[in-house]
Amino acid sequence: MELAPIGTVASPLTDPDAAPCQGDEGAPEAWLELVAEVAPALRGIAAGDELLVLTWLDRARRDVLEVHPRGDASRPLAGVFATRSPDRPNPIGLHRVTVLEIAGTRLRVRDLEALDGTPLLDLKPVLGGIAER
Amino acid sequence: MELAPIGTVASPLTDPDAAPCQGDEGAPEAWLELVAEVAPALRGIAAGDELLVLTWLDRARRDVLEVHPRGDASRPLAGVFATRSPDRPNPIGLHRVTVLEIAGTRLRVRDLEALDGTPLLDLKPVLGGIAER
């Protein structure tokens, strides 16, 4: 089970401690820079679409199984599967974004809290008009 | 970027051609059988919770970039990133389920269309009361 990056995040966010926990909590605009080889996989995606972006959270810890939610030490420990902590056995990030612009294999998006340089794993459409971060 | 399975799906679904495309299209109840090592990561999850389940779609093709949506040849080709096709460069499945029962590190769930034996990668809570398949 080996992953191959389909691209990389380009974002002004570089400091994990300063990045918002969720994309709708003040994340700046960012670019999804896809590798040229996957260009055909974008067919049908247009500006205005909502997408789910899967990332590889390469700065996360994989040996952490319990955390204080949102890094708030006053909250009781929770299992990482009950939280969206980046620290988890398989650090796959799931982000809901809106596509603002498509330029070749680069997509400008809103509401992405991933850090600059984060590898991209997959894009999926939001189904049924219902949304998930 | 190497994945480590956190468990396996146990489901009556064994035939890819007979399985529903989405979990709310008639999927039977299934079990998420987690490995003992990740037990602490489940702390805080209870029956009734909605979870997002990430799987490794081990019977998918990774070299497919365009498909007819839902396998319907009468529909025009779409890029796999614009569909939920299991065939995609990184075949990670995303499923929204409801937890019916927890027995140690086994979770009985509703609405999972993954095939029996599918490796489990991650569990995440649904945020903000909004839902995603």
B71-125 pLDDT, tens digit per residue, is 889 999 999 999 999 999 999 999 999 999 999 999 999 999 999 999 999 999 9
Closest partner residue to B90 among A6, A45, A126, by Cβ? Answer: A6
Contact B44 A130 (CB under 8 A): no
Nearest to B70, CA basis, from B57, B47, B87, B53: B87
Mean pLDDT of B15-42: 91
Selected for mutation to probe chain B from A81, A102, A109, A122 (highest B CB count within 10 Å) is: A81
The chain B residue lying nearest A58, using CA atoms, is B1
Q: How confident is the model at residue B128 (pLDDT cuts 50, 70, 90)?
A: low
- Residue A55 makes CB contacts below 8 A (sequence gap 6+) with A9, A92, A93, A95, A114, A118, A119, A120, A121
Mean pLDDT of chain A: 92
> What is this structure's pTM?
0.92
3-state secondary structure chain A: CECCCCEEEECCCCCCCCCCCCCCCCCCCEEEEECHHHHHHHCCCCCCCEEEEEEECCCCCCCCCEECHHHCCCCCCEEHHHCCCCCCCCCEEEEEEEEEEEECCEEEEECCCCCCCCEEEEEEECCCCCCCC
| B57-69 tens-digit pLDDT | 999 999 999 999 8
* Distance in angstroms (rounded) separating the CA atoms of residues A38 and A86: 26
Size of interface A-B (CB pairs under 8 A): 157
Instruction: Give A26's pLDDT tier (boundaries 50, 70, 90).
Output: confident
Distance CA A126, CA B131 (A): 10
Specify whether the CB–CB gap between A112 and A11 falls below 8 A: yes
